[in-house]
């Protein structure tokens, strides 16, 4: 059976030693009272909940899956999920970082980030149920009417009700401009009330019995809507209409008509949803629904990156434990334990390479994920307009990297970790094959990783002539200049600086090519995002190495082995993973011609 131990020591390293989160929060009036002890207490309790309540349901939930009663359209999640959700609500976890004006605790987003990393390690499928509620909350908080906020935000904040986002339709995935769901005004009803008719698919947690009500945020077209994405409006459609006292009232005709039978996250109900004149209220302005929904979509993209991070961590933990216990063959350089019939497989170089790959991607991903959460805290809480814009721009730049790079890495890492188990990796009881299956979907939903790559290169970089990328690049330049004369840091600083220069040159080259042929962006985008992902990781790994070196020097011989391990992992990353960028730069420069030259009839 797999195990999971919350990575509290590494989280504390990132929070307190790398990013100095409590000092940063003291500059924000909303969070000025948050100190390191408070942060540690919260993440410790979050880790206990994830490991003790949610993790034991992971394999059983995958095996049992969800069940649909076609007569009633009700969906039953796996055994134990409802009880775990009740304990989640009882513990106040849904309200952790929501607005106190609506019943929230008002704690920083960085704490919610740590909570959700651990929940995703413990049980990604279960975490899908409360996970989307945060995005629904943020969307309504930003674009809802005062009446919508007063009625629905306290319910989402407490976890009493959950939320979904209903975008995709059978004939259109990412291309939402093609959607057909219709919304028509209800005669005699309050202004902004509509009846929606249509079909949605791939709706995560679209139907379940964990909460008393489900709030669906639905994209649809008004009767006078222009064609394409400029004619999309956003509506809030509850499963049960709210009664006068705010409790669930009359059943709304939005039903689950089918469950998707998936490769992974089987404990999550992925629903086909039918709207048959379901009553909803307009969120935001008519025909401006896509912009409003982007609040939730961006939150979901960061959330999916966090799913990849969670799976990378738990897969690494189990593979490392197995490699230190499993005996097979002898070390090539001679027996390491002559008194035993064979050495443990951790003596083999390639086993170590697979383990260190997963570890480097987990620890680098954690640093990036907490960093972007801190940026969001600053964006939401600062009184400085310039700082707010700076943080928002950096979040926009890093979001597609978090979503795509972390989930690509999770696919690599979970596959490697399953490989460490050999034949046992295919056996369900060990849990590894489930981590691989669960990891694969994260590269697809909430905008495929190719879509994220196009967003990064086409919109976030070339769209503003590289302004956002240059702003992040200044962090790297400042760090390189600070450490330029530190001999101990040269093995980290030099490759970081070199890659920064190469990214600048590559970006300019691709921008010039795109002027002549826009398809050049599509031909290079996936490679380009992975290059930028490594640039970001190299920056954080160099910073982590700096902290570890300083601590080792301070503590001397016999110091905390944590810092020794951090340095070993940093050196592995720069020696074995960062060089991938050389090949990626070459393929990005090769242009679109090798992809588009062959006539489609020959495929």
Q: Indicate the pLDDT class of residue 347, thresholds 50, 70 and 90.
A: very high
Last residue of a domain, one of 289, 312, 334: 289
* Same domain for 221 and 95: no
Residue 75 has a pLDDT of 98
Cα–Cα distances in angstroms (integers) from residue 532 to residues 28, 330, 514, 536, 584, in the given order: 30, 40, 18, 6, 10
* Same domain for 223 and 83: no
The residues that are catalytic are 446
Residue 417 has pLDDT above 90, yes or no: yes
Residue 186 has pLDDT above 90, yes or no: yes
* Same domain for 139 and 191: no
**Location of structure tokens 């629905």:** 152
* Same domain for 577 and 455: yes
Residue 92 has a pLDDT of 97
Residue 411 has a pLDDT of 98
* Same domain for 169 and 51: no
Last residue of a domain, one of 268, 289, 310: 289
Residue 292 has a pLDDT of 87
Say which CATH number the domain at 49 has: 1.10.540.10
Residue 333 has pLDDT above 80, yes or no: yes
Residue 549 has a pLDDT of 97
Q: Indicate the pLDDT class of residue 91, thresholds 50, 70 and 90.
A: very high
Residue 288 has pLDDT above 80, yes or no: yes
Number of CB atoms found within 10 A of residue 466's CB: 16
Are the beta carbons of 212 and 236 closer than 8 angstroms? no
* Same domain for 171 and 105: no
Would you state the structure tokens that stand for residue 147, as one six-digit string?
């009446």
The answer to the question of residue 424 being in a domain is no
Q: Which of 117, 133, 137 is nearest to 54 (CA)?
A: 117
Residue 341 has a pLDDT of 95
For 62-76, write each residue's pLDDT tens digit: 999 999 999 999 999
Residue 268 has a pLDDT of 98
**Across 46-63, average pLDDT:** 98
Residue 293 has a pLDDT of 85
- pTM of the predicted protein model: 0.97
Residue 295 has pLDDT above 90, yes or no: no
Burial state string for 284-298 with b = 16 or more CB within 10 A and e = fewer than 16: beebbbbebbebbbb
What single-letter DSSP state applies at residue 426? G
Are the beta carbons of 9 and 327 closer than 8 angstroms? no
Q: Indicate the pLDDT class of residue 171, thresholds 50, 70 and 90.
A: confident
Q: How many domains does the chain have?
A: 3
Residue 301 has pLDDT above 80, yes or no: yes
Residue 353 has a pLDDT of 98
Residue 121 has pLDDT above 90, yes or no: yes
**Across 390-419, average pLDDT:** 98
Number of CB atoms found within 10 A of residue 462's CB: 17
For 258-277, write each residue's pLDDT tens digit: 999 999 999 999 999 999 99
* Same domain for 224 and 131: no
Residue 456 has pLDDT above 80, yes or no: yes
The answer to the question of residue 343 being in a domain is no
Residue 73 has a pLDDT of 96
The answer to the question of residue 387 being in a domain is no
Last residue of a domain, one of 255, 289, 323: 289
* Same domain for 497 and 584: yes
Q: Which domain holds residue 168?
A: 162-289
Residue 389 has pLDDT above 90, yes or no: yes
- Percentage of residues in the chain with pLDDT exceeding 70? 100
> Rounded to whole angstroms, how far apart are CA atoms 356 and 373?
25
Decide: helix, strand or coil at residue 471.
helix
Residue 375 has a pLDDT of 97
Residue 246 has a pLDDT of 86
Residues 6+ apart with CB under 8 A from 304: 403, 407, 442, 445, 446
> Rounded to whole angstroms, how far apart are CA atoms 281 and 233?
10
Residue 586 has pLDDT above 80, yes or no: yes
Residues in the chain, how many? 603
Residues 6+ apart with CB under 8 A from 140: 148, 149, 152, 153, 156, 217, 236, 283
Q: What is the mean pLDDT of the chain?
A: 96
Number of CB atoms found within 10 A of residue 26's CB: 14
Helix 519-555 and helix 385-420, axial crossing angle in degrees, nearest 10: 90
Residue 178 has a pLDDT of 84
**Across 328-352, average pLDDT:** 95
Residue 174 has pLDDT above 80, yes or no: no
Residue 558 has a pLDDT of 84
Residue 231 has a pLDDT of 93
The answer to the question of residue 185 being in a domain is yes
Residue 484 has pLDDT above 90, yes or no: no
């Amino acid at each position: 059976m797999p195990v999971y131990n919350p990575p509290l020591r590494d989280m504390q390293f990132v929070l307190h030693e790398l990013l100095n989160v409590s000092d940063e929060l003291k500059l924000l009036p909303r969070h000025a009272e948050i100190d390191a002890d408070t942060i540690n207490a919260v993440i410790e309790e979050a880790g206990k909940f994830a490991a003790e309540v949610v993790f034991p349901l992971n394999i059983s939930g995958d095996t049992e899956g969800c069940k649909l009663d076609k007569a009633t359209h009700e969906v039953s999640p796996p055994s134990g999920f409802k009880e775990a959700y009740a304990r989640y609500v009882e513990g106040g976890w849904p309200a952790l970082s929501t607005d106190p004006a609506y019943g929230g605790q008002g704690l920083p987003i960085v704490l919610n980030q740590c909570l959700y990393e651990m929940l995703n390690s413990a049980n990604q499928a279960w975490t899908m149920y409360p996970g989307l509620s945060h995005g629904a909350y943020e969307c309504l908080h930003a674009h809802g009417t005062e009446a919508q906020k007063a009625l629905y935000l306290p319910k989402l904040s407490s976890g009493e009700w959950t939320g979904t986002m209903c975008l995709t339709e059978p004939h259109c995935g990412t291309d939402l401009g093609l959607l057909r769901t219709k919304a028509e005004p209800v005669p005699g009803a309050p202004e902004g009330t509509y009846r929606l008719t249509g079909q949605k698919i791939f709706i995560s947690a679209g139907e379940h019995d964990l909460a008393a009500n489900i709030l669906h945020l639905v994209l649809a077209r008004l009767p006078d809507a222009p064609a394409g994405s400029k004619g999309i409006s956003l509506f809030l459609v509850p499963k049960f209409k709210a009664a006068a006292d705010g409790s669930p009232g009359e059943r709304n005709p939005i039903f689950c008509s089918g469950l998707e039978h998936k490769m992974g996250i089987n404990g999550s109900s992925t629903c086909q949803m039918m709207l048959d004149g379901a009553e909803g209220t307009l969120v935001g302005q008519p025909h401006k629904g896509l912009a409003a929904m982007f609040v939730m979509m961006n939150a979901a993209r960061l959330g999916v990156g966090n799913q990849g991070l969670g799976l990378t961590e738990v897969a690494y933990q189990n593979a490392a434990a197995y490699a230190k216990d499993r005996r097979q063959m002898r070390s090539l350089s001679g027996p390491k334990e002559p008194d035993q019939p064979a050495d443990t497989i951790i003596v083999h170089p390639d086993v170590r390479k697979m383990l260190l790959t997963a570890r480097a991607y987990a620890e680098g991903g954690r640093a990036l994920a907490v960093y972007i959460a801190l940026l969001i805290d600053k964006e939401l809480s600062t009184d400085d307009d310039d700082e707010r814009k700076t943080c928002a721009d950096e979040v926009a730049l890093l979001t597609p990297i978090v979503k795509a790079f972390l989930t690509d890495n999770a696919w690599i890492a979970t596959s490697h970790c399953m490989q460490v188990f050999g034949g046992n990796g295919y056996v369900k009881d060990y849990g590894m094959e489930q981590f691989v299956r669960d990891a694969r979907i994260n590269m697809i939903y909430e905008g495929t990783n190719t879509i994220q790559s196009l967003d990064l290169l086409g919109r976030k970089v070339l769209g503003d002539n590289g302004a956002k990328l240059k702003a992040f690049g200044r962090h790297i330049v400042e760090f390189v200049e600070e450490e330029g004369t530190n001999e101990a840091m040269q093995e980290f600083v030099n490759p970081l600086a070199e890659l920064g220069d190469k990214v600048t040159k590559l970006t300019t080259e691709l921008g010039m090519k795109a002027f002549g042929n826009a398809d050049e962006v599509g031909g290079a985008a996936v490679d380009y995002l992975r290059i930028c992902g490594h640039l970001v990781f190299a920056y954080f790994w160099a910073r982590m190495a700096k902290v570890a070196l300083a601590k080792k020097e301070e503590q001397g011989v016999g110091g905390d082995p944590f810092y020794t391990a951090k340095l070993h992992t940093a050196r592995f990353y720069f020696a074995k993973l960062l060089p991938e960028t050389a090949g990626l730069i070459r393929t990005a420069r090769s242009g679109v011609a090798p992809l588009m030259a062959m006539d489609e009839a020959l495929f």
